[in-house]
Amino acid sequence: MSGELGWLAPLMFGTLFLLLLTGYPVAFVLGAVGLIFGVIGYALGVIPPELMQAVPERLFGIMRNDTLLSIPFFTLMGLILERSGLAEDLLETVGRLFGRVRGGLAFAVILVGALLAATTGVVAASVMAMGLISLPIMLRQGYSPAISSGVIMASGTLAQIIPPSLVLIVLGDTLSVPVGDMYLGAMIPSLILTAGFAGFIALMALLKPQWLPPLEKVEKVTGRQVLSALVPPLALIFLVLGTIFIGLATPTEAGAMGAAGALVLALVKRRLSLDLLRQSLQSTATLTTFVMFILIGSSLFSLTFRALNGDLWVEHLFDQLPGGVIGFLLVVNLLIFVLGMFLDFFEIVFIVVPLLVPVLHKLGIDPVWFGVLIAMNLQTSFLTPPFGFSLFYLRSVAPKEVTTGHLYRGAVPFIALQLLMVAVLIGWPELVRHESAEEAAVISAVGDLSAASGQGASADEAIRLMQDIAREMRESK
């Protein structure tokens, strides 16, 4: 990026990360940095005053975004189901169903983790519920503490990639692609990853049978008990995902139906109470407010950053990378993997991904495929020390004989499987299938940023247009 004031964008980016290290709330850091550098840019004549009029429009645009309404709906659905004992019913029934198989409890945890991901979509709820119920039983039966801890934490992180994942919602909004396409695109990769977890347990049962013994005494489970445990979550999955995929409902409408269905399910099971409803609504409001404040802060930051030609600076950085598209993907995934050790996934999505959107357009990369790839990578942020949230969730409920070392060792093979799935998606992008796939650009392994064609992001074009108009108006005076 050329120009006397080309240093403003790198300085703004560096200031952001320095302030993030102070531990101050991310939403306020983003908004403050955006406003401060906006004033500096205006004082130096880099940002025209007309551009500042876009600030309220962007903020009200966030409030009018129907897609973001699905976040509180899906969160409320998950919290009601978690508090109404869905996890306990599933774990008890499926655990008895697979108990006689070597590694059966681990298989049960993976299956229940996938079902909870498709219904509750809350990582903390899944990990803590399985840690409270399954981990003590697994340890009593002689299971390896490391393998037991690892499979519980990894199964909980499936909520990050299996629809209706909140990560896919915010990625779809950030990348300006339909959330339904994100859900459809993530289905095959999420099922492959779930099968990969089960395959790893099966391999360990063969190589180290003493780590995964079968249960000695298992109560017989009837078909009626199995149906009673599995039909409600499967019906809710169809109510949410089925209506989206067959085109009967938008993600927001499906989220509303899912929340209503969760209330009905809790009422039928006679577990719905005013206290449960109050706690669920309070937690939903807290999470939604957290997301909205980060989104508002990131919107202010990105508006100023692009006005300072920060997007051109980012493009110039990736222009210097060897390897074209593959080089870009490797660097981006490595960056997100490292940031995941320290930042929350919402923060990564709202800070890093918007900066990459113009580069995606220039390289002709399918944004749905890229979003699923990033969501797959973000799973590792829950397992990687020192701040992997699943490590803390399980540590808070694990028995004393399970040490932090067990948690770390148990997480390593599942982190490797998640990274392997990232590599598989890069090698076989056709695994991400969605309705607009045939219209999307095909990724080329020999592409080069400097030679790539395509249009920039619409936000960048609007900012450039407003800057040109303001410049022409000043010159005409």
Q: Each residue of 81-123: pLDDT tens digit?
A: 877 777 777 777 887 787 778 888 899 899 988 888 887 667 8
The CA distances from residue 448 to 12, 248, 336, 416, 428, in Å, are 28, 41, 22, 29, 19
Could you write out the DSSP letters of every residue in 8-23? HHHHHHHHHHHHHTTT
Mean pLDDT of 143-147: 91
User: Residue 442's pLDDT band (boundaries 50, 70, 90)?
Assistant: very low
3-state SS class at 6: coil
Comparing CA positions, the residue from 228, 391, 246, 289 lying closest to residue 75 is: 289
Q: What is the 8-class DSSP label of residue 159?
A: G
pLDDT over 80 at 322, yes or no = no
Q: Both tokens of residue 298? A: 């990131």
What pLDDT does 229 receive?
80
Q: Which of 58, 66, 7, 128 is nearest to 298 (CA)?
A: 58
Q: 470 falls in which pLDDT band (50, 70, 90)?
A: low
Contact between residue 152 and residue 135 where contact means Cβ atoms under 8 Å apart: yes
Distances (CA, A) of 185 to 198, 326, 437: 22, 21, 9
**Residue 250 — pLDDT band, cuts 50, 70, 90?**
confident
Residue owning tokens 């996890």: 87
pTM score above 0.85 = no
Q: Could you tell me the sign of the dihedral formed by the alpha carbons of 401, 404, 410, 414, in that order?
A: positive
Tokens of 332: 């981006």
> In 213-273, which ranges are continuous DSSP H helix?
223-237, 243-245, 251-268
Residue with tokens 């009601």: 80
Say which residue the tokens 């399910």 belong to: 265
Model confidence band, residue 449 (pLDDT cutoffs 50, 70, 90): very low
Residue type, 123: V
pLDDT, tens digit, 9 for 90 and up, residues 417-432 = 999 999 999 999 999 9
At 285, list the tokens.
């409001």
Least confident of 273-287, 426-440, 462-476: 462-476
Q: Which two tokens stand for residue 43?
A: 């004082």
pLDDT of residue 466: 53
What is the length of the chain? 477
State the first-to-last Cα distance of the chain, in angstroms, to the nearest integer.
28
pLDDT digits (tens, 9 = 90+) for 182-225: 999 999 999 999 999 999 999 999 998 888 888 777 677 777 77
Question: What is the per-residue pLDDT for 469?
Answer: 52
* Exposed / middle / buried, residue 251 (Cβ in 10 Å: 0-12, 13-18, 19+): buried
